[in-house]
Chains A and B, each alone.
Chain A
Amino acid sequence: MERKPFAITLDPGSSLANHTGNWRTMRPVYRDHLPPCNHACPAGENVQGWLYYAEEGDYERAWRVLTNDNPFPAIHGRVCYHPCETACNRGQLDEAVGIHAVERFLGDYAIQQGWRIEPGPPSGKKVLIVGAGPSGLSAAFHLARFGHAVTIYEAGPKPGGMMRFGIPRYRLPREVLDAEVARVEAMGVTIHLNRRVEDLEADIKNGGFHATFLAIGAHLSKRVEIPGRDVGRILDALSFLKSVETGEPPKIGRRVAIYGGGNTAIDAARTAKRLGAEEAVIVYRRDREHMPAHDFEVEEALEEGVLTKWLRTIRQIDEGGTLTVEVMELDKQGYPRPTGRFETLEADSVILALGQEVDTRFLRKVPGIEISDDGVIQVDETMMTGRTGIFAGGDMVPAERTVTVATGHGKKAARHIDAYLRGVRYVKPPGNPLATFDRLNTWYYTDAPHIHQPYLDRVRRQTTFDEVVLGLDESTALLEARRCLSCGMCFECDNCYGMCPDNAIIKLGPGKKYRIDYDYCKGCGICAEECPCGAIEMEKEIR
């Protein structure tokens, strides 16, 4: 036995014998929270998840996480109204992260790099999709990844639906659209163009399809009765935009009035301007504040010289192009009401942009499919219509009509169709609690100003269909991605590991995060307090 010094009777020991964890009344736990961007995304994108890899400059991995949910980042980075950015917590700090700009960069970069996505192992099941718009193509993509054989019947001459015939090319260049559609086709999805479905049941039977997804959109323009002798001068916005796309734009004259206040009205006005109209005037019965069109699009239109007449309704169209408009006023609820005062307005043509309806004629003879009074198809929570095995989504079902909502419907329907084909039910995994701004410790984020995308110069915007908003490059996309606060999701900043006075947090290595050593954690709560993104919660200790 070793001789001990004077008056020492015990062997030296380590403090590790002293389990200070038993002091604890509160225990820290790592808990993921749902970032508000993810929560707001109609396509169900894991925005924080793909930004995480973009922050590292690992663009391929970012793109692959992104396309797990949405096959069309180059399209959405341009045309989505990005509710993610409205929800972004950074908006409360300085400005929201330019999520759409990074998404667009990833989409364009993927096209440039030629990245592809492989279909799943063949399931032996066949699915018919009616309509090659965002909803149908999104469903096709996800169903192909599940291994199902997908055939799309498309009534139009080219795929894309509203993305091609509704959204002008200055917002969505056609080579971008074509490239992202081609990637879905390369997964083995067959698209039959100019193939209108008249007899759905016969098509399903003849094709031997095990399930069907309807995604025909809403392509009929709503009309309004305006007394007028010169009806030849009246166009509907969708036909107008479509004719421009097919290369046969109608003569619209020098002065064009666009009637309506939605995004389609804005698109029609900006297109008219580009076709050479000296005056493109939007006539809308309410004011700018109450327009359904998105404010940034109104702003862009005004920049291009589009004129507006708020609080006006068209009452009559006379020969020679004189419009009689009535001045409206808004009541307390924001509804317009007539004032009895009238004005005149000169216009060589009038474009009606008053909304769209679904062409449900071919569905009326299909038993079980329920069509509501306002002409949309009723579906249950699995996107299935009243007819077993026939699902529907996009603009033809009750929902907000945007490309992103349609794309989200495609994914959701694909999951339920896949479950249906396998004879099970898809159950959405339970979500995490929302990562609200008050969970963040914003001290730790660097001040980083939002990087604005450049715009095409004004003259070219008024005379060409060149893309108006330009993209970020590799370095600016990186900086913008790094503005992400990673709300509610651990990004391994090591604050908990570094700031624990008791070394009670064990770092497991890059990508593996941390583990709490409850033998020594005293429950002081510094880790939770100093976690920048709010991914640690303090819970009552139960012994």
Chain B
Amino acid sequence: MHYQRVKYYQTGTFTVGNRLLDESNRTVQARMDRTNSLNSGHRACQGCGEALGARYAIDAAMRAVDNQLVAVNATGCLEVFSSPYPESAWQIPWLHSLFGNAPAVASGVAAALRAKGKDHIRVVGQGGDGATVDIGFGCLSGMFERNDDVLYICYDNEAYMNTGVQRSGSTPPRAWTNTTPAVGPSPGNPMGVGKNVPRIAMAHGIPYVATASVADLHDLEAKVFKAMGIHGARYIHIHVPCPLGWKSDPAHTIKVARMAIESGLFPLFEAEYGRVTDRTSIRRKVPVERYLELQGRFAHLFGDPPDTEAIRAIQAIADANIDMYGLLSEEGQRGT
């Protein structure tokens, strides 16, 4: 599914708002009455992609279900920076239990609401890649296979950032973390490890799986709206740069995420019942270097001499994504 890509109107649908477009073509984030589900005063780092992604997603979900929403949060950055005792940055019903059980708690909340006859109230589970890809993965898989009525959102910043940047199952090849130091013959995270949770979610045959990015707000909101229009287990995996752990400029958070899309390293697609149904095409293809060079965690690839072999291997991953999802096709073009 695609929102209507608008041509010609100065910035079309590339910007958050656009005074030249119909209200219906503007984002929730452009609205003066957006929920600001995650409010000011939270303690995320400067330029935090996860804080941004969480507000994008939850504000859209709130609007999609007329504010009848409960969020269940796993342990992680998002939970820690938003709820230091006794403050909360959440302006929605929000609860936190443990690192590994958020999908199960979300399933329980949905069951409780159903039991109380309040199944118009919808449930979102959310967590970082640590909670989703590693620690809570069993609970997540269970939530999927039972087809519980929960939208689970993973904010993927590709490592355990809250505890000081340790690798997770989502850390990309060759990236530096504190547990994959940039030393030795093949520095950084090894090639060929990690897992692709959107594909694993698809393998459960659940009604809806999508990937999204903080660099394409219209696309992200359209996917959240679509997910909230469906009952059953749904999964959205959002790419959220982390200036701290990626050693990138806080001002570059959107730019880094954009380069991930445009290089093909982070493919944007949707899947229903296990089959890819749509993808968001690359607008201006760039080599992976444009993405990697913005981040200090890949700085060791650009030494003297540069690690051309590693860069070539990463480019091969991007090329495989482009091929697999048809990211250069005209269809699904991100505006022109």
**Given A56-B19, A443-B258, A497-B29, is A13 in contact with B88 using a C-beta cutoff of 8 Å?**
yes
* Cβ < 8 Å to A, chain B residues 29-47: 29-30, 32, 36, 38-47
**Given A13-B87, A14-B87, is A526 in contact with B8 using a C-beta cutoff of 8 Å?**
no
Bound-state CA distance A20–B87 (Å) is: 14
Asked if B177 is at the interface (CB within 8 A of a chain A CB), the reply is no
Which stretch in A269-277, A291-299, A487-495 binds the other chain?
A487-495
Bound-state CA distance A504–B44 (Å) is: 13
Q: Are A55 and B40 in contact, with the CB atoms below 8 A?
A: no
Bound-state CA distance A510–B18 (Å) is: 11
The chain B residue sitting closest to A498, CB to CB, is: B16
Q: Are A529 and B40 in contact, with the CB atoms below 8 A?
A: no
Asked if A92 is at the interface (CB within 8 A of a chain B CB), the reply is no
Q: Are A13 and B254 in contact, with the CB atoms below 8 A?
A: no
* Cβ < 8 Å to B, chain A residues 134-190: none
Which stretch in A308-316, A331-339, A516-524 binds the other chain?
A516-524
Asked if A116 is at the interface (CB within 8 A of a chain B CB), the reply is no
Asked if B212 is at the interface (CB within 8 A of a chain A CB), the reply is no
A393 to chain B, nearest CB (A): 36
Mark B2-15 against chain A: 1 for CB-CB distance below 8 A, else 0.
00001111111011
B171 to chain A, nearest CB (A): 22
**Given A55-B10, A482-B9, is A15 in contact with B87 using a C-beta cutoff of 8 Å?**
yes
With a cutoff of 8 Å between Cβ atoms, the chain A residues found around residue B250 in the complex are 524-526
With a cutoff of 8 Å between Cβ atoms, the chain A residues found around residue B335 in the complex are 446-447
Q: Are A444 and B14 in contact, with the CB atoms below 8 A?
A: yes
Q: Are A14 and B88 in contact, with the CB atoms below 8 A?
A: yes
With a cutoff of 8 Å between Cβ atoms, the chain B residues found around residue A12 in the complex are 86-88
For B15, B20, B44, B82, which residue has the most chain A Cβ atoms within 10 angstroms?
A: B15
Bound-state CA distance A102–B82 (Å) is: 50
**Given A444-B11, A497-B17, A532-B15, is A524 in contact with B253 using a C-beta cutoff of 8 Å?**
yes
Asked if A450 is at the interface (CB within 8 A of a chain B CB), the reply is no
**Given A18-B87, A445-B10, A492-B19, is A529 in contact with B27 using a C-beta cutoff of 8 Å?**
no
Q: Are A17 and B87 in contact, with the CB atoms below 8 A?
A: yes
Q: Are B40 and A20 in contact, with the CB atoms below 8 A?
A: yes
The chain B residue sitting closest to A478, CB to CB, is: B8
Q: Are A524 and B55 in contact, with the CB atoms below 8 A?
A: no
Asked if A220 is at the interface (CB within 8 A of a chain B CB), the reply is no
Main secondary structure of the interface of A (DSSP, over half): loop
Asked if A479 is at the interface (CB within 8 A of a chain B CB), the reply is yes
Q: Are A446 and B41 in contact, with the CB atoms below 8 A?
A: no
Q: Are A529 and B88 in contact, with the CB atoms below 8 A?
A: no
B90 to chain A, nearest CB (A): 8
**Given A23-B46, A504-B40, is A494 in contact with B16 using a C-beta cutoff of 8 Å?**
yes
Q: Are B30 and A501 in contact, with the CB atoms below 8 A?
A: no
Q: Are B17 and A498 in contact, with the CB atoms below 8 A?
A: yes
**Given A14-B39, A492-B19, is A501 in contact with B9 using a C-beta cutoff of 8 Å?**
no
Bound-state CA distance A482–B11 (Å) is: 9
A478 to chain B, nearest CB (A): 9
Bound-state CA distance A164–B44 (Å) is: 67
Asked if A19 is at the interface (CB within 8 A of a chain B CB), the reply is yes
Q: Are A494 and B39 in contact, with the CB atoms below 8 A?
A: no
B97 to chain A, nearest CB (A): 15
Q: Are A444 and B15 in contact, with the CB atoms below 8 A?
A: yes
Q: Are A443 and B14 in contact, with the CB atoms below 8 A?
A: yes
* Cβ < 8 Å to B, chain A residues 35-65: 55-56
Asked if A16 is at the interface (CB within 8 A of a chain B CB), the reply is yes
Q: Are A499 and B17 in contact, with the CB atoms below 8 A?
A: no
Bound-state CA distance A509–B36 (Å) is: 16
**Given A55-B10, A529-B255, is A494 in contact with B89 using a C-beta cutoff of 8 Å?**
no
Asked if A503 is at the interface (CB within 8 A of a chain B CB), the reply is yes
**Given A482-B20, A498-B17, A524-B46, is A503 in contact with B55 using a C-beta cutoff of 8 Å?**
yes
A314 to chain B, nearest CB (A): 52
Bound-state CA distance A494–B16 (Å) is: 5
A130 to chain B, nearest CB (A): 45
Q: Are B336 and A447 in contact, with the CB atoms below 8 A?
A: yes
Asked if A373 is at the interface (CB within 8 A of a chain B CB), the reply is no
Asked if B251 is at the interface (CB within 8 A of a chain A CB), the reply is yes
With a cutoff of 8 Å between Cβ atoms, the chain A residues found around residue B258 in the complex are 443
**Given A15-B41, A16-B41, A524-B251, is A501 in contact with B47 using a C-beta cutoff of 8 Å?**
yes
Bound-state CA distance A528–B251 (Å) is: 8
Asked if B311 is at the interface (CB within 8 A of a chain A CB), the reply is no
**Given A444-B11, A495-B16, A526-B47, is A14 in contact with B41 using a C-beta cutoff of 8 Å?**
yes
The chain A residue sitting closest to B283, CB to CB, is: A443
The chain A residue sitting closest to B335, CB to CB, is: A446
* Cβ < 8 Å to B, chain A residues 378-409: none
Asked if B226 is at the interface (CB within 8 A of a chain A CB), the reply is no
Asked if B111 is at the interface (CB within 8 A of a chain A CB), the reply is no
With a cutoff of 8 Å between Cβ atoms, the chain A residues found around residue B27 in the complex are 494, 498
The chain B residue sitting closest to A509, CB to CB, is: B32
Asked if B252 is at the interface (CB within 8 A of a chain A CB), the reply is yes
**Given A497-B16, A498-B30, A509-B32, is A484 in contact with B10 using a C-beta cutoff of 8 Å?**
yes
Complex A-B: 18 CB contacts under 8 Å: A12-B86, A16-B40, A20-B41, A20-B42, A56-B20, A482-B8, A482-B9, A486-B10, A491-B10, A494-B15, A494-B17, A503-B36, A504-B40, A523-B46, A525-B250, A526-B250, A526-B253, A529-B252
Q: A12-B86, A520-B40 are in contact. List 11 more A-B contacts (CB 8 A).
A: A10-B85, A20-B40, A446-B335, A482-B20, A493-B17, A495-B16, A501-B55, A502-B42, A522-B45, A525-B250, A526-B253
B residues with CB within 8 A of A: 6-12, 14-20, 26-27, 29-30, 32, 36, 38-49, 51-52, 55, 82, 85-89, 217, 243, 249-255, 258, 335-336
A residues with CB within 8 A of B: 8, 10-20, 23, 55-56, 443-448, 479, 482-484, 486, 491-495, 497-504, 507, 509-510, 517, 519-520, 522-526, 528-530, 532, 538
The 4 A-B residue pairs whose C-beta atoms are closest, nearest first, are A494-B17, A498-B16, A525-B251, A15-B41
